Amino acid sequence: MIQLKSPREIETMARGGAILAETLEYLTGFVQPGISTGELDRLGDAFIRQKGGVPSFLGQYGFPRSLCISVNEEIVHGIPSEQRILKSGDLVKLDCGVIFEGMYTDSAISVPVGTLSPEVTRLSDVTRRALMAGLKAATPDNHVGDIGAAVQAVVETAGFNIVKELVGHGVGFAVHEEPQVPNHGKPKRGRKLEPGLVIAIEPMVNLGSPRTRTLPDKWTVVSADKSPSSHWEHTVAITPDGPRVLTTTAGVPSLV
């Protein structure tokens, strides 16, 4: 069942989303060779709480930490660890969820550690552009398939591979809600978008094979061929005026 959000609930989500955006921006300043993903998680947890939010991933389905932090071939759901030390050339994905006044938002960024190879830099740029294309398609006259088609066009034109086994989702009253929002699709197919629908759009793109595998920790999803992967995500509300990105500090209908 899809639960639409009222304008007031969307405003609350925008406030929580601003905390989330600030958290990711804050953490970006600490991403450098030598820091552990466990330390980034602790810093993020403290920052969210100091701003009046609660990390939504902690304890969700039994997840043990506050952020999902995935490195290189890890696509999503990496468990932060004091033993996992970042090094120059890594691409680290910070995926974060915040609860604020009962409402949930979700956002992820890919951050370079030190100096990245040109092809991994391009992978992250293309994935971010694919997210932007998906966000622009989140208008009330479109369908879920228009979002997937927009994401897919950017990724495949660039010669990369969409991870199709993982999808975006509705969000707001819980971490994951209906509908599923695939990163591929056909225009005008799937559920019609409508004002009050709030979704997380989150392209996951691999440099190599799109196939995935889950590590023995039962959480970390990696590319089957261990090629690098990028992930970018925003929570966006469909409004009568078009898409409104909620996980930004701008607080306006921008596509930042």
**Between 88 and 180, CB nearer to Mg ion:** 180
The closest of 96, 93, 57 to 75, measured between CA atoms, is: 93
| Binding status of residue 200 toward Mg ion by CB under 5 A | yes
In the complex with Mg ion, which residue's Cβ is closer, 141 or 174? 174
- Token duo for residue 97: 């969820």
Q: Where on the phi/psi map is residue 196: left (φ > 0), alpha (ψ -120 to 50), or beta?
A: left
Q: Which residue type does 149 have?
A: A
Taking the least distance from each CB to Mg ion, the nearer of 141 and 172 is 172
User: Residue 167 interacts with Mg ion (CB under 5 A)?
Assistant: no
Per CB under 5 A, 177 contacts Mg ion: no
As measured in angstroms, the least distance from the Cβ of 202 to Mg ion is 5
Task: Indicate whether 135 belongs to the interface with Mg ion (CB under 5 A).
Answer: no
Regarding 10 and contact with Mg ion (CB under 5 A), the answer is no
Residue 235 CB, shortest distance to Mg ion, in Å, is 8
Residue 72 DSSP symbol: T
Cβ of residue 76: shortest distance to Mg ion, in angstroms?
Answer: 7
Q: How many residues does the chain have?
A: 256
Identity of the residue, 206 or 235, whose beta carbon is nearer to Mg ion in the bound complex: 235
- 150 CB-near residues (< 8 Å, 6+ apart): 130, 133, 134, 136, 137
**Nearest distance, CB of residue 177 and Mg ion, angstroms:** 10
Strand partners, 69: 94
106 forms part of the interface with Mg ion (CB under 5 A): yes
By C-beta, is 117 or 214 nearer to Mg ion?
A: 214
Least Cβ distance, residue 166 to Mg ion (angstroms):
9
Among residues 2 and 114, whose Cβ is nearest to Mg ion? 2
Helix-then-strand count for the chain, H and E: 4, 15
Is 89 buried (19+), middle (13-18) or exposed (0-12) by CB count in 10 A?
middle
Cα(79)–Cα(69) distance, integer angstroms: 6
H helices present in the chain, as ranges: 7-28, 37-50, 118-136, 144-157
> Could you tell me the smallest distance in angstroms from the CB atom of residue 55 to Mg ion?
12
CB of 107 to Mg ion, least distance (A): 6
Torsion angles phi and psi, residue 208, rounded to 5: -110, -130
Q: Which is nearer to Mg ion, 88 or 111 (by Cβ)? A: 111
55-63, 102-110, 216-224, 243-251 -> range binding Mg ion (CB under 5 A): 102-110
Subset of 227-256 contacting Mg ion (CB under 5 A): 233
Distance CA 228, CA 167 (A): 18
Give contact residues for Mg ion (rule: CB under 5 A): 95, 106, 108, 200, 202, 233
